[in-house]
């Protein structure tokens, strides 16, 4: 007798909490994450100024060679070249995407506070780091 089990990747499930629209506390800065059919999570950051939406960064979380990779493309940084950060699977209770070779940031971390709040930490060397809270935005029907 052969038993087949459907194995769902634990980290994939943990990534799902990011899906949605998030607003940085006290600022008109947003981050949107959507899961697509290929199990990638596509995102972008944007600001709203003078009632105009401007995308400031495009993001993708996908699996490459059995590792989750966070790709960030910022038009006015790194000559518009996408920078990759690999998920540190040893980090517990946070999603820590890391690239020690990048000048800044070296780590981008997401910590779920609850279903409607996440803490984002953007870490560099020494004092070159910052964190902020994002609040889930409920879309109006």
Is residue 5 one of the residues assigned to a domain? no
The whole-angstrom distance between residue 85's C-alpha and the CA centroid of its chain comes to 10
CATH number assigned to the domain comprising residue 70: 2.40.128
Does the pTM surpass 0.95? The reply is: no
pLDDT averaged over 10-residue windows placed end to end, the chain, 141 residues = 45 82 96 90 96 96 94 91 95 94 96 96 92 89 47
- Residue 38 included in any domain: yes
Rounded CA Rg of the chain? 16
Number of structural domains (the chain) is 1
**pLDDT reported for residue 4:** 40
- Ramachandran class of 26: left when φ > 0, alpha when ψ lies in -120 to 50, beta otherwise: left
**pLDDT at residue 43 in the model:** 97
Q: Partners of 96 in the beta sheet?
A: 109
Coil/strand/helix, residue 123: strand
Domain around 18: 10-136
Go through the chain and tell me how many residues it has: 141
Q: Which helix (H) or strand (E) covers residue 14, if one does? A: helix 10-15
User: Has residue 99 been placed in a domain?
Assistant: yes
């Amino acid at each position: 007798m052969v038993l087949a089990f459907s194995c769902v990747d634990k980290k994939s499930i943990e990534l799902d909490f990011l899906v949605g629209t998030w607003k940085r506390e006290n600022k008109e800065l947003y981050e949107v994450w959507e899961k697509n059919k290929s199990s990638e999570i596509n995102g972008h950051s944007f600001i709203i100024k003078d009632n105009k939406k401007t995308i400031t960064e495009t993001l993708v979380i996908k699996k490459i060679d059995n590792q989750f990779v966070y790709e960030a493309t910022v038009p006015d940084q790194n000559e518009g070249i996408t920078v990759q950060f690999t998920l540190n699977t040893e980090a517990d209770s946070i999603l820590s995407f890391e690239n020690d070779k990048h000048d800044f940031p070296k780590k981008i971390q997401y910590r779920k506070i609850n279903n409607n709040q996440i803490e984002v930490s953007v870490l560099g060397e020494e004092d070159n780091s910052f964190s902020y809270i994002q609040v889930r935005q409920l879309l109006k029907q």
